[in-house]
Chain A
Amino acid sequence: MAIRIVAALGVLALLPAFYVLLHSGGGDVRKLTQSLVLGALFGVVLQRSRFCFFCHWRDFIESRDPRGFAAILLALGVGTLGYVVLFGAWLPDPASGRLPPDAHIGPAGPVLAFASLVFGVGMAISGSCVSGHLYRLGEGSPTAPFALLGVIVGFAVGFTTWNWLYVTSIATTPVTWLPAELGYRGWLLVQLVVLAGTAALIAAFACLPDRASQPAESRSVLQRALHRIFVERWPATAGGAAVGVIATVAYFQVQPLGVTSALGSYGRWLADSAQLLPETLHGLDGFSGCRTAAATFLTPNFAFVVALVIASFASAITANQFKPAWPTGNQVLRGLTGGVLLGWGSMTALGCTVGTLFSGTIAGALSGWIFFAASLLGVFATLRLMRAQAQS
């Protein structure tokens, strides 16, 4: 255990080193620092509570274990309450025709639905969503590096199809913000009722696994507490609530939570280097969402993502969950193909399960709900297909 703690501290020492590197870039130091702290917290929460949209959905679809799915709904509920407080202060009249600043509210139409479906398929094939792969990178996952590489490639492909999709459909798709239609109270009521209704629905189908019998405790209270924090998996609900709180603080201080804009910037750079990037990406920079930057890598989102990986790595070490493994051919293939679908889907949908589904839904965006439904459908259908194939 002592070795693991020393190793984890050694990994955490990368954070101050990274902080120094960020300061050398000349960006907005305050925002970079806040992103670094929030990314580290997010990484620990994801790793300790195994918060992952795909795994939670899969647990429910395959084993009817509802705990993770409930954690997602709880995160959405807590985030919604946090956001509505900020909205109330920042934009007292939701019907003014303005949108809250930088909130991930995107065009809600067929392109988004299709891209979210593709993203769902990519999740099922690669075994995780983008944020899940990021924290698994810190656990030594053999699939995650290939999936993330695939995401970057998928982003590059997304840039090449964007203009056509934009002109054909996205440009005339409405950007629907539910509070503008329903008022804050109406939206809050509908949103919380839908979340509670979904929770009730999954509870009706749920099948809770038996609690593993606890071994006789011979340790002190402190030892048990430390064990629960650093070694055992956190309760999914604690993870969900923490994600909701981090999302609110991130929106308040820097920008809504999202994990793809830094990866997307690599995709943009890659497409540009390969001379595949169109001269202009119509309308893209006019939308709020996981934007990509062409010029600089030292963005707040980059700080957020790197801190996430470092912190989840340290957290995985203390929990003895850092289990690097050589990838098999199948893992490489599934990582890459799933990753490309994740990348294309999140580029076209202006974000992933974190940026569009989560940060969008808690901001009252119809686009968030569409991503939720379509990606869940993609996961469900792909899991069913894969199972049927395995059985045949």
Chain B
Amino acid sequence: MHTPSLLKALVIIASAAIAPTAFAEPAKEPLVNYEWLQKNLDNPNVRIVEVSVDPGVYERGHIPGAVNFRWHTDLVDKVSRDIASRDSFEKLIQSAGIDKDTTVVLYGDNNNWFAAWGAWVFHVHGLGDKVKLLDGGRKIWELKQLPLDTKEASVTATSFKLPAGKPGLRARLSDVLSVAEKKADVHLLDIRSADEFSGKIFAPEGSKELSVRAGHVPGAVNVPWGKAVNAEDGTFKSPAELKKVYADVGIDGSKPIITYCRIGERSSHSWYLLSQILGYDVKNYDGSWTEYGNSVGVPVANAAGTVWLGK
């Protein structure tokens, strides 16, 4: 009878070794890598959230245990153009089983654009200290051929209450206009493609033309979001490399920054890295070009001179 009791002892020791204490402490950094996430899939204090733009991506395979936040309905107001209200966001957080000790890891398709946008919404609603991005998002997880699950995660709802929000992380049209009119000393960063920035095109291919003027906000500099990532796996470049990319266009953190794009989601990607990785003072302008470029009477820089012909 020695063998079974020895086995039992071994099992006890082994389970102690993989008990919650064995989980790595949540990284203090704004990013977690796929290796860390793999080790923490069963960590009860980690909630993984997928924010992808394409429907059906989550259902056909997501990181095990991840819950799904739908960009078009969960994180926005469905009637007026706004992010999810405090009340509906609180309900969403509760239903995802997020509590005061939870670390939230966001990831998604399309190079984490929408996951980064989700992270910005978390920050605006006061949960900035809880949220991290999986560096490389879906892209690196699939590239490394790590396991995916197709079951909807089952989570227990909480009664967590949102802390005070941080509305100051959101730039409004008036803030951007002050910069354009040189009334505020702020760096404006336009992260759209060079052709959108110069005014040659109104919207990238595959997106509808939603603004009736082409070009950019006067005084903005252009660093397309793609310059911040390693193309092969979608991870962010190193902090030193990132610093250089932005310093080359004069953005060095010495002044506050406002990021914008077309609808505010790609710019969240740049907002995240500038504010969370480099520690700069950054707001995201979610109205972006579809608000600014449609506003009456605001100054516009349109180097290409493209005229809107009503089509």
Contact = CB atoms under 8 A, between A and B. Distances in A.
Contacts of B206: 295
Given A279-B311, A295-B206, A91 B152 contact: yes
Contact of B55 (A92, A102, A252, A253): A102
Contact of A90 (B73, B150, B205, B311): B150
B151 interface: yes
B205 A295 contact: yes
A295 B207 CA distance: 12
Nearest to B59: A90
Question: Size class of B's contact patch?
Answer: 10 to 19
A102 B56 contact: yes
B59 A101 contact: yes
B152 A253 contact: no
Contact of B152 (A89, A102, A255, A279): A89
B232 to A, nearest CB: 15
A71 to B, nearest CB: 29
Interface in B31-62: 55-56, 58-60
A252 B151 CA distance: 12
Contacts of A101: 55-56, 58-60
The main secondary structure of chain A at its interface with chain B is loop
Interface in A79-107: 86, 89-92, 98, 100-102
Interface in B134-154: 150-152, 154
The main secondary structure of chain B at its interface with chain A is loop
Contacts of B55: 101-102
A92 B205 contact: no
A253 B60 contact: yes
Interface string A229-269: 00000000000000000000000110100000000000000
A102 B55 CA distance: 7
Contacts of A89: 150-152
B204 to A, nearest CB: 12
A259 to B, nearest CB: 19
Interface in A270-307: 279, 295
A371 to B, nearest CB: 22
A230 B279 CA distance: 68
A100 B59 CA distance: 9
- Choose among B55, B205, B206 the residue with the greatest number of A CB atoms under 10 Å from its CB: B55
A253 B311 CA distance: 38
Interface in B46-98: 55-56, 58-60, 73
Contacts of A295: 205-206
Contacts of B151: 89
Nearest to B149: A89
A90 B73 CA distance: 17
Contacts of A102: 55-56
A278 to B, nearest CB: 13
B30 to A, nearest CB: 29
Contacts of A253: 60
Nearest to B154: A92
A100 B60 CA distance: 11
Nearest to A294: B206
Contacts of B60: 101, 252-253
A150 B206 CA distance: 29
A90 B152 CA distance: 5
Contacts of B59: 90-91, 100-101
16 contacts: A89-B150, A89-B151, A89-B152, A90-B59, A90-B150, A91-B59, A91-B152, A92-B154, A98-B73, A100-B59, A101-B59, A101-B60, A102-B55, A252-B150, A255-B56, A279-B311
Q: Which 10 A-B pairs have the closest CB atoms?
A: A101-B56, A90-B59, A101-B55, A102-B56, A89-B151, A101-B59, A92-B152, A89-B150, A90-B152, A102-B55
Interface of A: 86, 89-92, 98, 100-102, 252-253, 255, 279, 295
